[in-house]
């Protein structure tokens, strides 16, 4: 079963489209056990209201891939959720292949990658490893922060057509062409979500980060075409993470 299909199953089983971004503020290295305990506690509380968990360098750096993070991945999958590694893979192909092998060995179901590196000797090996192991690749198209336009919104020349186009439009087309399992478009830019949805023709699910702390609205993102909402600080920094996750999930049901 493809990662895309697994996500659909998890979302149906959990009746949720929320992907928890398990991010925390910086803690000194000696407090790494505190970080792990906090992550485990939040996962235990919110897992009924989410369908997947996204982990990035916030946890890999202090906890280690095959130590604390692998424990979290085992907990995530044991709760009927999928684990996504937000590595933003963006290096030469040989390096990307090794990155994928390590993270998939730790149990991750999918990786997020940056299309800027290109296909040949770029992301092709990542896709090949993912397909061989039955894992997924999610590509960035337009990030959620204010400076996203400087890179993802710049005007470029399409190598195939010779015509001017926008970088995120090119990336959305690559997600469709390369058979990506998802594409990231910030919830802070609902007009971009709607545009990317038209480009990928509904064949590539849209993952939208930036809900809450960055100003993105869950309902607006879903109405624009987001398939899954990536929510971090709005939940992890809340006084009651479970209640917040449930409220967010309830707010987009039926849209």
Q: Which residue has the tokens 């607006």?
A: 220
Nearest of 18, 24, 79 to residue 216 by alpha carbon: 18
Q: What is the mean pLDDT of residues 147-163?
A: 89
CATH class of 3-134+206-252: alpha beta
So what's the pLDDT on residue 174? 96
Handedness of CA 105, 4, 86, 10 (dihedral sign): negative
What is the 8-class DSSP label of residue 202?
T
CA distances from 204 to 26, 29, 35, 63 (A): 34, 39, 34, 32
Contact, 65 vs 102, CB < 8 A?
Answer: yes
Considering the chain, what is the average pLDDT of its residues? 95
Burial of residue 239, with CB atoms counted within 10 A of its CB: 0-12 exposed, 13-18 middle, 19 or more buried: exposed
Q: Domain coordinates of the chain in residue numbers?
A: 3-134+206-252
Q: Which helix (H) or strand (E) holds 110?
A: strand 110-113
pLDDT, position 214: 83
Ramachandran assignment for 65, one of left (phi > 0), alpha (psi -120 to 50 degrees), beta (any other):
alpha
What phi, psi does 209 have (nearest 5°)? -90, 170
Catalytic residue among 88, 124, 174, 223: 88
Q: What is the pLDDT of residue 215?
A: 78
Distance CA 63, CA 74 (A): 14
Nearest to 208 by CA among 185, 192, 234: 185
Q: Which helix (H) or strand (E) covers residue 84, if one does?
A: strand 82-89
pLDDT category of residue 254 using cuts at 50, 70 and 90: confident
Higher pLDDT, 158 or 232: 232
pLDDT band at 160 (very low <50, low <70, confident <90, very high): confident
88 carries an active-site annotation: yes
- pLDDT on residue 244: 96
């Amino acid at each position: 079963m493809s990662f895309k299909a697994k996500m659909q199953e998890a979302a149906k089983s959990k009746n949720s489209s929320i992907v928890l971004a398990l991010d925390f503020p910086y803690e000194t290295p000696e407090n790494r056990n505190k970080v792990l305990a906090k992550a485990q506690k939040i996962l235990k509380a919110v897992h009924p209201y989410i369908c997947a968990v996204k982990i990035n360098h916030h946890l890999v750096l202090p906890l280690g891939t095959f130590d604390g993070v692998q424990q979290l991945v085992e907990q995530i999958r044991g709760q009927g959720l999928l684990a996504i590694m937000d590595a933003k893979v963006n290096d030469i192909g040989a390096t990307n292949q090794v990155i994928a092998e390590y993270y998939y060995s730790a149990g991750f179901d999918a990786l997020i990658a940056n299309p800027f590196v290109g296909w040949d000797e770029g992301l092709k090996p990542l896709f090949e490893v993912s397909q061989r192991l039955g894992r997924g690749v999610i590509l960035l198209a337009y990030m959620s922060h204010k400076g996203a336009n400087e890179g993802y919104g710049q005007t470029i020349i399409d190598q195939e057509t010779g015509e001017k186009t926008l970088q995120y439009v090119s990336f959305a087309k690559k997600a469709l062409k390369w058979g990506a399992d998802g594409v990231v478009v910030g919830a802070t830019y609902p007009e971009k979500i709607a545009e990317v949805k038209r480009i990928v023709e509904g064949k590539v699910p849209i993952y939208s980060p930036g809900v809450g702390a960055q100003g993105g609205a869950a309902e607006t993102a879903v109405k624009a075409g987001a398939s899954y909402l990536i929510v971090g600080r709005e939940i992890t920094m809340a006084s009651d993470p479970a209640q917040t996750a449930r409220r967010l999930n309830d707010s987009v049901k039926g849209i």
